[in-house]
Amino acid sequence: MAWYYYNRRNNGGGGGGAWGRLSKGLLPLLALQAASEFHRIGRKPPVTAGLLLANSLIYLRPAFVDRFLPTLYEVSFNPHLILKHGDLKRFFLSPFYHVGDAHLFYNMTSLLWKGIQLETSMGSPQFASMVAALLGMSQGITLVLARSLLLFFDYEAAYYNQFSVGFSGVLFAMKVVLNAHSDEYAYLHGIVVPARHAAWAELILIQLFVPGVSFLGHLGGILAGLLYLHLRGSYSGADPLTVFIKKAVDFVSWPVRVIQRFLSFQRPRTSGRGRVGSSQATAVPSGIWRCPTCTYDNSSSVDVCEMCSTARRGSGFTPSHRYNRTGDLSAEEVRRRRLERFGG
């Protein structure tokens, strides 16, 4: 799940380093794992699904999106070029690019696990707001760290002029948020650590054992997660970005809700052989009698309403005396009879 970096001389060639040697068969496995997880859970998390799809489409570059996408080199995170040219494309798009199947696989499986847990617990609008904030903060902190190393320590080669891509800066931030209040323990390559400190342990282990990863990018993600928790803890009001996302979703889905309400209003509710819900005087087919209490259409072969147990008398109708002597049933009484009738 490393935030892979490469030197400019590689010109953004895909599949370099440790990741390129592990690429065969991982994308079908990723698709199978994602399908299995989404089938298993009841409520599908749309933001997590959208992030998985976006990262995968950008990596696979099918013909219908390829012509709209910049190349890997054009969006790779490079502190020098971002600050020199104000290149926001590199700042915002580099997390969504990956250099090999394995790079994409490990980042997306981590996103699948963390995204499902966070989105189902906090809700889609707030999760989307959090991801946007973590992305911006992790990229910004990484940029500040690289510039600071250059200014104060004249440390340029390792971070300031190198190129990096990948989503794991955001994933490290999500890991911090997910485990912030956990009292459990996590297992990292056979080492047991408190879950709250798992991101720090993973930062060190990945840097030691996985070549070609960006220590600064991962560190920026961890610091972004800590900053997000601090800001959320010190701010008691509603997150403005979450409110905006909720209003945007409501606005976009408004036509769908209107159509659903219209269809629901037009469609009569049915149960068994009869129909419920129309109080207007409509023609009743022969062989059917309509209960005046609940408007259920009953077969002429029965003398008691199958829905509310109102008795039929001749061609007219009277309520069963054991329920109501006034001839009028309240809505609560009708509901009680229905429940009693159908065992609900």
- Catalytic residue positions, numbered: 168, 218
**Is residue 343 classed as helix, strand or coil in its secondary structure?**
coil
Across-strand partners of 6?
163
What's the token pair of residue 271? Answer: 């149960």
- By the 10 Å C-beta count (0-12 exposed, 13-18 middle, 19+ buried), 320 is classed as middle
**Residue 289 phi/psi, 5° resolution?**
-125, 140
E-state strands within the chain? 5-6, 163-164, 185-188, 191-194, 269-271, 274-276, 288-290, 297-299, 312-313, 316-317
* Backbone phi and psi for residue 331, each to the nearest 5 degrees, phi listed first: -60, -35
Write the CB contacts of 320 (distance below 8 Å, at least 6 apart in sequence). Answer: 304, 309, 310, 311
CA distance 252 to 248: 6
Is residue 278 classed as helix, strand or coil in its secondary structure?
coil
Neighbours of 47 (CB within 10 A): 20
Say if residues 297 and 288 touch (Cβ distance below 8 Å): yes
Cα gap 208→242, rounded to integer Å = 38
Backbone angles phi, psi at 194, to 5 degrees: -60, 135
b/e string for 149-187 if b means 16 or more Cβ within 10 A?
bbeeeeeeeebbebbbbbbbbbbbbbbbbbbeeeeeebe
